[in-house]
Every structure is written in structure tokens, then in C-alpha cells.
């Protein structure tokens, strides 16, 4: 863990997949499989009936769309026209109709919170719910009041208009065991490095970069929550979700009390606090004869760090000069080398900087596991330029015939003739072709949280056991 004296950042922890709790499936008509749905969404057909236009939906409008052939559902503030999806829904049409014309967030969270609906229903997006009119006047006046849903804007700088569509907002939702705070930043270049989350005891604080300001959520929570939490970012709509785990499974009547500068935009400045973020150390190279480099006094540690120029943390790291200091914690993590014992087939699924844990695994596996016969790496990136250590990987695969490397791009240029897309059943079943009965297998997966969650779910669908999957979580 690196520690840069600047601002606080306890690592966002990733979440485990939630058990499905006996969800029932209905038989789907022919031509209504997940693949058929994906094909339809990519066909360019207008699935919302709005010709690509996004609108603000009022509660009254939402209520009107409550029939099978005209069914809108709101999930976490975003409204989807799910009519085209009805016949493809594994849980059946009736299940979807339970939320027709209303806010289906709670129902959705009860049944399959882990599903990446933003991606699955992206072509069905109608728009977002219109923000309810402000009820409170100023955050100073709010202090004695309680937070229950969306609050009005309070302190505003000159950078953004006081009102208007670009002002951030937030909302919260709960299930029996979780509380989700959703921040709608209304800007698209948001990533995990744009947010700092800090919570101690009942005080919760989240800072998000919005242009030259920080949008601050600062709340004294009404109930206790556990230490670990997760953060996910939906870049396409600029939404951040912070999921807290309740200490007790009770229903909260309100989120909490506003603390200083809550729900306000404040100019960015160095506040002199501390940022903490986990990174996986790598080796100096993939090609150093598969050995840790021998360096004077062994005092070297390598990190591979992507700088998000609009971020909060990595630009600070980027500004460090030789001679500056960062503090580094002792190692953390739960990967056990014993997983490699007698291993024959090793599959590595990495996305973006999720490649970093794979570096030492590759080095170790190819050097120290005599039983190993095959290592396959499927490496997901947006563009060719994003592929970390591409030429080293290609050289390594050329040198060691046990290694196969496949690159998959989600935003390639038209000349790219390799694999394309996101992690999917089709890509995985082709990649993981092995004689499972006869070999000892391990699949390691690391990348953005939705990637890892989806990957683990697909691996389980392909009958990989818990012991055969290791997911790295930040
Ligand atoms: P990125 O945004 O460049 O995305 C890389 C690829 O990930 C994309 O091409 C796509 O194939 C896939 N992807 C992204 N979002 C997805 C989604 N919603 N659903 C399915 N697939 C998706 O990635 P990046 O900016 O390099 O981020 C890498 C992530 O890996 C970070 O979130 C980082 O915290 C995490 N990470 C974790 C560890 C660890 O747990 N030890 C180590 C390194 C990196």
C-alpha cells in the first residue's frame, strides 16, 4: 500500500457476489437467449422508441408506462424501457412486470444486484428521473435535520451554475443488508481515481472531482456499518455507487445527519491529508529469465501505475520527484502459493491494470511449477495502446510454448483483427477449452469490479468450482 501525504483514501474494497437466493428461471422461447439479446442490442434498432434521445422522466410519466408493450422501470435513478427485453428475461415477463412503471431498484437488488444491468440494458435507457424539487434551503440549516433521499444543492462555487443539469447530486437506496449511496456526477470521464471515500465509525465522507471542484458528501450515518465497502463507477453515465454493509440487518428510516460542507462543491486545494491506495507490486520485467531481479540489498520494489489525468490520487504520484517520499505498508492479500501445487492448467483473465497481479504469477508459474503444462492469458483492454507490456508478453509466449496470450479490445480501431468486446460466455468458453476431468486447473481474474464480478459469475456458470477460481479485489 502506498501512502502519499495529501488526501485520505482508504481502499475501496470489492464486493462478493450476492447469493441468488433461489431465483427461479422460466423457459425462454427459441431465439431469446442472452446471445440473441446482445445481438439485438448491437443491431442498431431503436429499442427505446426515442431515437437515441435521453429524457428527464417525472414520476407521473414513469407511472404511465406500466404495460407489457410499454414498460418503463427505474433502477437507481435511471429509467429503462424494458419492453423489448421482456422475452429475453430469464426470470420471466411477470417478474419484470412487478416493477412496471415504478422504481424497481429494491426488487432488482433483492434478486440480482450483481447483474451489470447498465451494460445489458444500455440500449433501453430512456433517461434519468427528474430531480425532486428542493425541500431544504442551506446546508447550515440542514445540520439539525436528517437526510432522507436527494437533497438540494448548497454551497456552490463560480465554476458551476447553482442550478442546472451539470450540478451533481446523490441519492441512497437500501436492501436488508446493504446501503448504496449513488452519486450522479453528470460528467463522463469519471473513474475510480476520481473519488476518495473515507468512513470512520458513523462518519461517512466521499469526495468526487467535478471539474475544478470537489463535490462532497459528508454524513453522520444513522446506523453503524461494517469497515469494508465497495465503490463502482459507471463511466458511461458518470455515476458512482458506494456500497456499505450494514452492521445489523434493519431498515434505516433515513441515511443520517449532514456534517460540515455536506452536499457542496468546494474548490480543489491540497488539504494536507493522506491518500492510501493498494497496488500490486510487479517484477522489473517478464523476460528476466523468470527470476526476481537481483539488486543491491534487495531494496527495490516495482509498481506499474496508470496515471488517470483527471484523477485525485495518481496525478499526485506523478508529480513526485526523485528524493520525495511515499510510505509503503506491509503486504496485504489472500493469494496462497499452495494453489499452484500440482497445477497443470493455469488461466489468467486480466483487464487493464488488473494485469499487475498476473506478472508475478506468470513468472512464478513458468519457473517453479514442474507439473504445469499450459498457461493461457486473456488480456482485455480498450485499445491497442492500453496493452501493458505487449511486446514482452509476445516475446515470452514465443520463447515458452506453454504460454498462449490473447488480446481482446473493447474499443479497437477498425483495422484491429484480433478479438473484440467485453468478457462474455462466448469468449470464455472458447478460451477455457480443456479436458476438465483430467487436469488440475486454476483461473485467476483481476480488473475493474464489474469485469471481475461478471467473470466469476460466468466461470461458475461454466462449472468451475470455488477452489478453481481466484479473484483479485482491490
Ligand atoms: P479500463 O477502464 O481501461 O478497462 C479495461 C477493460 O476492462 C475494458 O477494455 C473492458 O474489457 C473491461 N471492463 C471495463 N469496465 C467493464 C465493465 N463495466 N464490465 C465488463 N468489463 C469491463 O481499466 P483500468 O482503468 O486499467 O482499470 C483497471 C481496474 O483494475 C481498476 O479498477 C483497478 O482498481 C483494478 N485493479 C485491481 C487490482 C487488484 O485487485 N489487486 C490490481 C490492479 C488493478
Closest ligand 1 atom to the C-alpha of 409? Answer: 9
CA of 355 from ligand 1 middle (Å) equals 9
**Poorest-pLDDT segment among 146-155, 266-275, 349-358, 413-422:** 146-155
Q: Residues 75-118: pLDDT tens digits?
A: 888 899 999 999 988 878 888 899 999 988 877 777 765 566 77
What distance in Å separates the CA atoms of residue 313 and residue 272, rounded to the nearest whole number? 13
pLDDT at site 273 = 56
Closest ligand 1 atom to the C-alpha of 447? Answer: 30
Question: Count of CB atoms within 10 A of residue 164's CB?
Answer: 9
Q: Which of 23-32, 309-318, 414-423 has the highest mean pLDDT?
A: 414-423
**Pocket-testing residue among 188, 235, 307, 352, ligand 1, by greatest number of atoms within 8 A of Cβ:** 352
Among positive and negative, which fits the CA dihedral 200, 203, 204, 207? negative
What distance in Å separates the CA atoms of residue 76 and residue 276, rounded to the nearest whole number? 29
Q: For the residues 278-300, what does the mean pLDDT come to?
A: 70
pLDDT at site 398 = 94
Which among 442, 209, 213 is positioned nearest to 308, based on CA atoms?
A: 209
Tell how far CA 336 is from the center of its chain.
25
What distance in Å separates the CA atoms of residue 410 and residue 459, rounded to the nearest whole number? 20
Q: Are 207 and 7 in contact (CB under 8 A)?
A: yes
Protein residues whose CB sits closer than 6 Å to any atom of ligand 1: 116, 119, 192, 280, 306, 351-354, 356-357, 380-382, 386, 410, 422-423, 446-448, 450-451, 454, 472-474
24 has a pLDDT exceeding 70: no
364 has a pLDDT exceeding 50: yes
With b meaning 16 or more CB within 10 Å and e meaning fewer, what string describes 359-377? Answer: bbbbbebbeebeebeebbb
Question: Count of CB atoms within 10 A of residue 149's CB?
Answer: 12
Q: Residues 175-231: pLDDT tens digits?
A: 888 999 999 988 877 888 888 888 877 789 998 888 778 888 999 999 999 988 888
pLDDT at site 128 = 82
Q: What is the mean pLDDT of the chain?
A: 80
Question: Count of CB atoms within 10 A of residue 54's CB?
Answer: 14
Residue 465: what are its φ and ψ, rounded to 5°?
A: -85, 165
C-alpha pair distances (Å), 61 with each of 78, 93, 289: 13, 22, 65
pLDDT at site 77 = 81
CA of 473 from ligand 1 middle (Å) equals 11
Percentage of the chain surpassing pLDDT 90?
Answer: 37
pLDDT at site 192 = 82
69 has a pLDDT exceeding 90: yes
- Strand pairing report for 302-303 and 403-409: unpaired
CA of 193 from ligand 1 middle (Å) equals 12
CA 347, 349, 351 angle in degrees (round to 5)?
A: 160
Ligand 1: residue whose CA is nearest its atom 43: 354
**Pocket-testing residue among 121, 195, 235, 351, ligand 1, by greatest number of atoms within 8 A of Cβ:** 351
Closest ligand 1 atom to the C-alpha of 308? Answer: 25
Among positive and negative, which fits the CA dihedral 471, 315, 285, 300? negative
Ligand 1: residue whose CA is nearest its atom 42: 354
435 has a pLDDT exceeding 90: no
Percentage of the chain surpassing pLDDT 70?
Answer: 81
Ligand 1: residue whose CA is nearest its atom 7: 351
Q: Are 208 and 310 in contact (CB under 8 A)?
A: no
Q: Which of 17-26, 227-236, 374-383, 459-468 has the highest mean pLDDT?
A: 374-383
CA of 309 from ligand 1 middle (Å) equals 16
CA of 447 from ligand 1 middle (Å) equals 4
Question: Count of CB atoms within 10 A of residue 210's CB?
Answer: 23
Q: Residues 365-412: pLDDT tens digits?
A: 998 899 999 999 999 999 999 999 999 999 999 999 999 999 999 999
9 has a pLDDT exceeding 90: no
248 or 201: whose pLDDT is higher?
A: 248
Q: For the residues 452-463, what does the mean pLDDT come to?
A: 93
Residue 15: what are its φ and ψ, rounded to 5°?
A: -105, 155
**Pocket-testing residue among 354, 359, 381, ligand 1, by greatest number of atoms within 8 A of Cβ:** 354
pLDDT at site 3 = 40
Residue 429: what are its φ and ψ, rounded to 5°?
A: -65, -30
C-alpha pair distances (Å), 205 with each of 244, 370, 438: 12, 49, 51
Q: Residues 128-166: pLDDT tens digits?
A: 887 654 333 333 333 334 444 433 333 333 334 444 456
pLDDT at site 41 = 87
Question: Count of CB atoms within 10 A of residue 19's CB?
Answer: 8
pLDDT confidence band for 336 (50 / 70 / 90): confident
Amino acid at each position: 500500500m502506498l501512502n502519499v501525504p495529501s488526501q485520505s483514501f482508504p481502499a475501496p474494497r470489492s464486493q462478493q457476489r450476492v447469493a441468488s437466493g433461489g431465483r427461479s428461471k422460466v423457459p425462454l422461447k427459441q431465439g431469446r437467449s442472452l446471445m440473441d439479446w446482445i445481438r439485438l442490442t448491437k443491431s442498431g434498432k431503436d429499442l427505446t422508441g426515442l431515437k437515441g434521445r435521453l429524457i428527464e422522466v417525472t414520476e407521473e410519466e414513469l407511472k404511465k408506462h406500466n404495460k407489457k408493450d410499454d414498460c418503463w422501470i427505474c433502477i437507481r435513478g435511471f429509467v429503462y424501457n424494458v419492453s423489448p427485453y421482456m422475452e429475453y428475461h430469464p426470470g420471466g415477463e411477470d417478474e419484470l412486470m412487478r416493477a412496471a412503471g415504478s422504481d424497481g431498484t429494491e426488487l432488482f437488488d433483492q434478486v440480482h444486484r450483481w447483474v451489470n444491468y447498465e451494460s445489458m440494458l444500455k440500449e433501453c435507457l430512456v433517461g434519468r428521473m427528474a430531480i425532486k424539487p428542493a425541500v431544504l434551503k442551506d446546508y447550515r440549516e440542514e445540520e439539525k435535520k436528517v437526510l432522507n433521499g436527494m437533497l438540494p444543492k448548497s454551497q456552490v462555487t463560480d465554476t458551476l451554475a447553482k442550478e442546472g443539469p451539470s450540478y451533481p447530486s446523490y441519492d441512497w437506496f437500501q436492501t436488508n443488508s446493504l446501503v448504496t449511496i449513488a452519486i450522479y456526477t453528470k460528467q463522463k470521464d469519471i473513474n475510480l481515481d476520481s473519488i476518495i471515500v473515507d468512513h470512520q465509525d458513523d462518519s461517512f465522507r466521499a469526495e468526487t472531482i467535478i471539474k475544478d471542484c470537489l463535490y462532497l458528501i459528508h454524513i453522520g450515518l444513522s446506523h453503524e456499518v461494517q469497515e469494508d465497502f465497495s465503490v463502482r463507477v459507471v463511466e458511461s453515465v458518470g455515476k458512482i455507487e458506494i456500497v456499505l454493509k450494514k452492521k445489523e440487518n434493519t431498515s434505516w428510516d433515513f441515511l443520517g445527519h449532514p456534517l460540515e460542507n455536506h452536499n457542496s462543491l468546494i474548490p480543489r486545494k491540497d488539504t494536507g491529508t493522506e491518500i492510501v491506495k493498494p497496488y500490486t507490486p510487479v517484477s522489473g520485467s517478464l523476460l528476466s529469465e523468470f527470476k526476481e531481479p537481483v539488486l543491491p540489498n534487495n531494496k527495490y520494489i516495482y509498481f506499474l501505475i496508470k496515471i488517470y489525468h483527471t484523477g485525485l490520487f495518481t496525478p499526485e504520484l506523478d508529480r513526485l520527484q526523485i528524493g520525495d517520499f511515499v510510505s509503503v505498508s506491509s503486504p496485504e492479500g489472500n493469494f496462497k502459493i499452495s494453489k499452484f501445487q500440482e497445477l497443470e492448467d493455469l488461466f489468467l483473465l486480466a483487464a487493464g491494470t488488473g494485469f499487475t497481479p498476473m506478472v508475478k504469477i506468470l513468472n512464478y508459474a513458468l519457473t517453479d511449477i514442474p507439473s504445469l503444462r499450459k498457461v493461457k492469458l486473456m488480456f482485455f483492454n480498450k485499445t491497442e495502446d492500453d496493452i501493458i507490456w505487449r511486446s514482452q508478453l509476445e516475446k515470452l509466449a514465443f520463447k515458452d510454448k506453454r504460454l498462449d496470450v490473447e488480446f481482446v479490445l473493447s474499443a479497437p480501431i477498425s483495422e484491429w483483427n484480433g478479438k473484440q468486446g467485453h468478457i462474455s460466455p462466448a469468449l470464455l468458453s472458447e478460451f477455457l477449452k480443456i479436458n476438465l476431468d483430467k487436469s488440475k486447473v486454476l483461473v485467476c481474474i483481476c480488473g475493474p469490479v464489474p469485469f471481475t464480478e461478471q467473470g466469476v459469475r460466468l466461470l461458475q456458470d461454466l462449472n468451475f468450482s470455488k477452489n478453481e477460481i481466484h479473484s483479485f479485489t482491490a
